[in-house]
Structure 1
Amino acid sequence: MASFVDRHDLWTDEQALQAAELDRRLASGEVDVVRFAWPDQHGLLRGKTLVASEARSALRGGVNLTTTLLAKDTSHKTVFPVFSAGGGFALPGLQGGADFTLVADPGTFRILPWAKKTGWVLCDAYMADGSPCPFATRRILQKAVDELGREGLDFVAGLEVEFHVFQLDDARMVLADSGQPGEPPRVSLLSHGHQYLTELRYDRVDAVMQVLHDQLIALGLPLRSLEIEFGPSQFELTFGPTVGLMPADTMVLLRSAIKQICQRQGWHATFMCRPKIPNVMSSGWHLHQSLRRRGDGANAFIPEEGAGDLSPLGLHWLAGLKAHAVGASVLACPTINGYRRYRPFSLAPDRAIWARDNRGAMLRVLGGPGDAGTRIENRVGEPAANPYLYLASQIHAGLDGMVRRLDPGPSADAPYETPAEPLPRSLGDALAALQADEVLVERFGRTFVDYYCHIKQAEIARFNLEVSEWEHREYFDMY
């Protein structure tokens, strides 16, 4: 009987060749186990680990997971009535905790350098009939990349990612600390912070930097720099430009890798935007983006000499990012915590605006005539964002700017003073803005937007049920 991949013709010719080579490697005994990893709706990696002999058959046969995983919020609570008709999704094939199937993308296979004889492969999700899972975010980005490709263009992106690493003092593993979610670990600082980019601070955390450097390079990620950020125990890594799905694939892998590597060393890494520690500085994810012409491989954003900051196409793309900045906010900043970062005079944006090489603006234009690195840096994202949705939002917004030949207006030299549309100040406001953005709703599909907003509204509802420390301090004694 034909395999799941063969029955539904799910691989390209190139992937079939990659799978044959991977099968040979698995048969050679190079690895003992393979992790089949799938990025869920939050950009978290889920999946199953198979011994090598079973992994060989699973390459073409697929790996089954329960569709209830599609119904989880960030606490891993199921927020859809999965045993009702349609599973709460109003779509066939998702009811009753039925299975969906992971199919490996064999070109993504890697050996994990921190785990003994362990392979890793990224997967795409399909329904039982072989159709793409409608809520699989990697597929959503692939469709956006394909749409851009029909214009003869490739999406190119580089990553600039901030995060925190702490000394892990207490993992909170006593029985009373369990829960959904459980109690967060107790940590202490690796650096006091506030000595941005100083060599002495870097040298004091060189043990962290050396481990991350060695492991991420061994993993094959395009690491460019390791930096001390401004806040206590805050770090930044930058990654070179890659094309299409690869920037998003890199982001989900590096987040998972850093957390695993650090945990094994007795450290706790977090991509939470603004942890609750004294003197904290928020972490951002700055996305550098440009377009490459498929015809000649040239950067399509480079302007002609004396023609301004960007090419006409680049200006239209910039205008599209600006026009849909508010609607796309929730895809760049999907957590309640992330909206604590948007504040004036903080090197984080607070309004939909662009400027020439100004870090206070949401959209920072870099490069110019003759500069192959000409690009747009979007500073709106938080490092917890699902990269497939974030990148897809950029492509859809930029394409709309191209189609409608939008004008971004003049550069804002005073980005915290120039009048402009404010970014949402809460997750709830951002969800409403996405639902009101007709272009993004059409491009992502109403079904997906409603699904995604339902999950995020469930998180807001849980948040609103909790009494905060601020409320208790403010009212408990006064009234």
Structure 2
Amino acid sequence: MQKTSNGEDVSLVGLVWVDLCGIARVRGVPVKYLGSKADYGLSFPSCGQAMTMFGDIIDNPWGGVGDVRQIPVMSTLVRPGDEGFGLVLSEAMGSDGKPWDLCARTLLRGIVNKYENELGVKVHATFEQEFKLLGDKEPALSMTVEAWQQIAPLDAVIVRRLEAAGIQIEAFEPEFVPSQYELSVAPKDAVRAADEAVIIRETVRDAARRAGYHATFAPKTSIDKGGSGLHIHISFTDQNGRPILYDANGKSRLSSLGQGFVSGVLRHGRALLPFVAPGVASYYRLGPKKWSTGYVAYGTSNREAMLRICSLPTDDQERKAKSFNIEFRAADGLCNPYLALAAILIAGMQGIQNKLPLPPAMDADPSKLSQPELDALQLVPVPSSLEEALKDLDADDALKAALPRILVDMVMALRRREISQFKDLDPDAICTQYAKIY
């Protein structure tokens, strides 16, 4: 930490929020003044939520009029140290003193509270993040000890800083694609899980930059190389902390609540894509036979499905129930983690409340099924482009009605801006742009 001769901490802390393009925006605040910002934070132009990944601002309802207040959430404070920066995450308050409809963290907190108040359910989650570390070295063979050791001591620095931030690391591993790594962390309550996803991204980027690497969470760095995903694991407990997603006698071992949740997510699956896979390059990663998400379906250990049912391979029913979770596989590192998780939970709640029937599980490789078998599963492919996904969102009145209208409008406008900007570029050039920014 930076201190004066009398021991006063003069470090800056970044007051951070994530915009609708999934980019962390920041204002620096001296640590010694942070407490004075706890009630009303710092002002920021309302039109900031109309800022694109290219740095310009699209047409919006505010123009140069109006401000919001970014209020620090003091429980998220990561103190600065010798190895990096400090930050505190924030929520937005409107000029009327009420929560702002365009604040994704507020949206997530609201739907999590709704699960608890209306269903008596606590939501837990964790974000499994894949990223690439690009540098001057020739990448080692994928998934090898050499690939793991090649970036040392960067891996240890990242883990040490994240553990100091209260994040429990479960694995840091070289992944399938050269220069690609994955960080897995322990599940937390849903809002804290999204907070940690943001802290992890910015910590990895900062540590990599200091070590001479460029870290990117973009879904693709080139059209012919494997992509990076963001796998969101979700589970539920009752008010006493008992797991309630698992039922040994339920269809696919899902409880009735779990069946409704899965059905809701699948019902709105294609319309969810602009929130979870929001970039043009996102759709270079998705699709059949890519081991990411090919179909709006669910299955057990099936990487072609949007939802994967995960649990420990044990006959111990207590351990089975505790480990049982639903993995959402279609998201990527371009998304706002709060917005992505909120949209998934909203879709799932609609399935629970409407008691939607669970469709058949896709527990085989669809490329090896006969046409009658495919017809029986009623498989629906994921959208093949962002433009196609936006049409699905526009047609999904039930999902849109559960979200603030202004938020949906701005998300769609920002996505269309990206489509327009990239329409004359080849896929590799598009991948390069995303890799540079994300």
TM-score, normalising length from structure 2?
A: 0.87
1:42 corresponds to:
21
1:14 counterpart residue number: none
Corresponding residue for residue 216 of structure 1: 162
Partner Cα separation in structure 2 for residue 306 and residue 329 of structure 1: 28
Question: What is the percent sequence identity of the aligned residues?
Answer: 26
Matched, 1:110 2:78: yes
2:58 pairs with 76, 79, 93, which one? Answer: 79
Residue deviations 1:246-285, cap 9 Å, x none? 11111111111111111011110000111028x5210011
- Structure 1 letter corresponding to 2:230: W
Task: Return the alpha-carbon distance in structure 2 between the equivalents of residues 373 and 325 of structure 1.
Answer: 24
User: 1-side partners of 2:353 and 2:365: how far apart?
Assistant: 27
Q: Is the contact between residue 111 and residue 346 of structure 2 (CA under 8 Å) also seen in structure 1?
A: yes
Q: Does 1:253 align with 2:199?
A: yes
Aligned to 2:134: 166
Question: Greater RCO between the two (CA within 8 Å, min separation 6)?
Answer: 2
Structure 1 letter corresponding to 2:231: H
Q: Where in structure 1 are there 5+ consecutive unaligned residues?
A: 1-26, 81-87, 168-187, 471-479
State the shift of 1:39 in Å. 1.8
One-letter amino acid of the counterpart of residue 334, structure 2: A
1:99 aligns with 2:67: yes
- Cα distance in 2 for residues equivalent to 1:191 and 1:41: 33
1:4-403 residue pairs with structure 2 within 5 A? Answer: 29-30=8-9, 32-80=11-59, 88-89=60-61, 94-113=62-81, 119-150=86-117, 151-167=119-135, 188-189=136-137, 191-193=139-141, 195-196=142-143, 198-276=144-222, 280-294=225-239, 296-304=240-248, 308-367=252-311, 369-370=317-318, 371=320, 372-403=322-353
After superposition, the CA RMSD in angstroms is 2.2
Tell me if structure 2 keeps the 8 A contact 1:309–1:365: no
- Change over 3 Å in CA distance of 1:208–1:28 after alignment to 2: closer
Match of 1:446 in 2: 405
TM-superposed CA distance for 1:190, in Å, is 5.2
1:410, distance to aligned residue in structure 2 (A): 2.1
2:386 corresponds to which residue? 427
Q: Which amino acid aligns with 2:341?
A: L
SS in 1 for 2:108: helix
Offset of residue 67 of structure 1: 2.1
Tell me the distance in 1 between the aligned counterparts of 2:211 and 2:227: 24
Q: 1:310 to 1:142 in 2, by over 3 A?
A: same
- Amino acid across the alignment from 1:343: G
Q: Residues 273, 54 of structure 1: CA spacing in aligned structure 2 closer, same or farther, 3 A cutoff?
A: same
CA distance in 2, matches of 1:403, 1:469: 43
Q: Is the 8 A contact 2:83 2:161 kept in 1?
A: no
How far apart, CA to CA, are the structure 2 residues paired with 1:362 and 1:453?
Answer: 22
Q: How many residues align?
A: 408
Q: Does the 8 Å CA contact 2:91/2:105 hold for their aligned counterparts?
A: yes
**Aligned counterparts of 2:420 and 2:259: Cα–Cα separation in 1:** 40
Give the partner amino acid of 2:79. Answer: I
Q: 1:28 to 1:433 in 2, by over 3 A?
A: farther
Which of 406, 421, 426 is the aligned partner of 2:356?
406
Which range is displaced more, 304-313 or 357-366?
Answer: 304-313
Match of 2:415 among 456, 467, 477: 456
Q: Letter of the aligned partner of 2:163 in structure 1?
A: I
Match of 1:180 in 2: none
- Is contact 1:43–1:386 with CA below 8 Å preserved after alignment? yes
| Contact 1:113 1:219 survives alignment (8 Å) | no
Once the 2 structures are TM-superposed, how far is the Cα of residue 306 of structure 1 from its aligned partner?
7.5
After superposition, the C-alpha distances for 1:418-447 in whole angstroms (9 at most, x for unaligned) are 341111111111111111112210111332
Cα separation, partners in 2 of 1:44 and 1:353, compared to 1, 3 Å: same
- Cα 1:388–1:101 change in 2 (3 A) is same
Q: Deviations over 1:89-140 (max 9, x none)?
A: 2xxxx34243221111111112134566x54211111122212222111111
Q: Which amino acid aligns with 1:134?
A: D
Whether the 8 Å CA contact 2:42–2:70 is kept in 1: the answer is yes
Q: Where does structure 2 lack aligned partners over 5 or more consecutive residues?
A: 1-5, 368-373, 430-438
Show CA shifts across 1:6-37 (max 9, x none): xxxxxxxxxxxxxxxxxxxxx98345322211
Tell me the distance in 1 between the aligned counterparts of 2:160 and 2:31.
26
Aligned counterparts of 1:226 and 1:362: Cα–Cα separation in 2:
24
Tell me how far apart the structure 1 counterparts of residues 267 and 411 of structure 2 sit (CA, whole Å).
22
Normalised to the residue count of structure 1, the TM-score between the two structures is 0.80
SS at match of 1:206: coil
CA distance in 2 between counterparts of 1:54 and 1:158 reads 32
Q: Report the AA paired with residue 356 of structure 1.
A: T
**Aligned equivalents of 2:286, 2:55: Cα separation in 1:** 27
Q: CA deviation at 1:220?
A: 2.0
In 1, Cα distance between the equivalents of 2:301 and 2:98?
A: 44
Give the conservation status (yes or no) of the 8 Å contact 1:159–1:239: yes
